[in-house]
Structure 1
Amino acid sequence: MRKLQMAKLAVVADEETVSYFKMIGVKRSFAVHSVEDAAKRIGELSSDQDVAVIITTEKIAEELHALLQQISMTRLYPLIVAIPDKKGPIPRKVDPIADLLKRTVGVEIKVQ
């Protein structure tokens, strides 16, 4: 019988965003200063079997769209979640949740 373990959460973002997550106790919080740093750190974390969720900012997710999509399509975990930074949400033409549902379930959901 497999022993159950608590999955881990990681954050890869700008210094300010990371500081908030550190304040609430997220130990795996990494401040990055470039897209290259973010790509490297997310790549490392996505290979870690213990990491179930990686939180990053929308700005980083937009820059690393191809990498994040590759990770999402080839692995069940980690789930990568993009959150707004201090400047607020980035206007989008496509809802990422609706897009994920369309790709995984094959059904397009429209909300009016």
Structure 2
Amino acid sequence: MKSSVAIIGDLDTVTGFQLGGVKVSKVVETNEDAENALDELINDEVSIIIITENIADNIRKYMEKKIGSNVLPMIIEIPDKSGPSDRESDPMGELIKRVIGVEMVK
């Protein structure tokens, strides 16, 4: 395992995480770049992949296909510099359900 944490995002977001100590990072500009970065990090057995919400929304089906119901890698979605996305689903709730097998209800 090369690293336990990695970030996929735009240049500003990735730079901020690099300053915070995240060593493995992928700056992406297209959906194809994001899919390739995700594949590379999965192959490198990264445990936690942080990805911006906008990028995750654009490759959602691809991420679900690659990760399925596996616990690792854990995908954590964060807002980018434009702020949080308006969404119908709660990615953190889905993450909790995938990891512990129980849906958290409000």
Could you state the TM-score of these two structures normalised by the residue count of structure 1?
0.80
Q: Deviation per CA, 1:68-89, whole angstroms, max 9, x where unpaired?
A: 1123315331111110001111
Rg bigger for which structure? 1
Q: Any gaps of 5 or more consecutive residues in structure 2?
A: none
Q: Any gaps of 5 or more consecutive residues in structure 1?
A: none
Cα pair 2:77 2:91 within 8 Å, conserved: no
Distance 1:108 1:75, change over 3 A: closer
Structural RMSD (CA): 2.1
The Cα shift of 1:110 comes to: 3.1
AA aligned opposite 1:36: E
Q: How many Å separate the matches in 1 of 2:62 and 2:11? A: 22
Greater RCO, CA 8 A, separation 6+: 2
Q: How many Å separate the matches in 2 of 1:109 and 1:25? A: 31
Cα pair 1:72 1:79 within 8 Å, conserved: no
AA aligned opposite 1:65: R
1:51-62 to structure 2, matched below 5 A, reads: 51-62=46-57
Q: How many Å separate the matches in 1 of 2:24 and 2:68? A: 24
Could you state the TM-score of these two structures normalised by the residue count of structure 2?
0.84
Q: How many Å separate the matches in 2 of 1:68 and 1:12? A: 13
Q: Deviation per CA, 1:20-72, whole angstroms, max 9, x where unpaired?
A: 011111110121121111110111111112x1011110001001101111233
1:45 aligns with 2:41: yes
Q: How many Å separate the matches in 2 of 1:8 and 1:18? A: 16
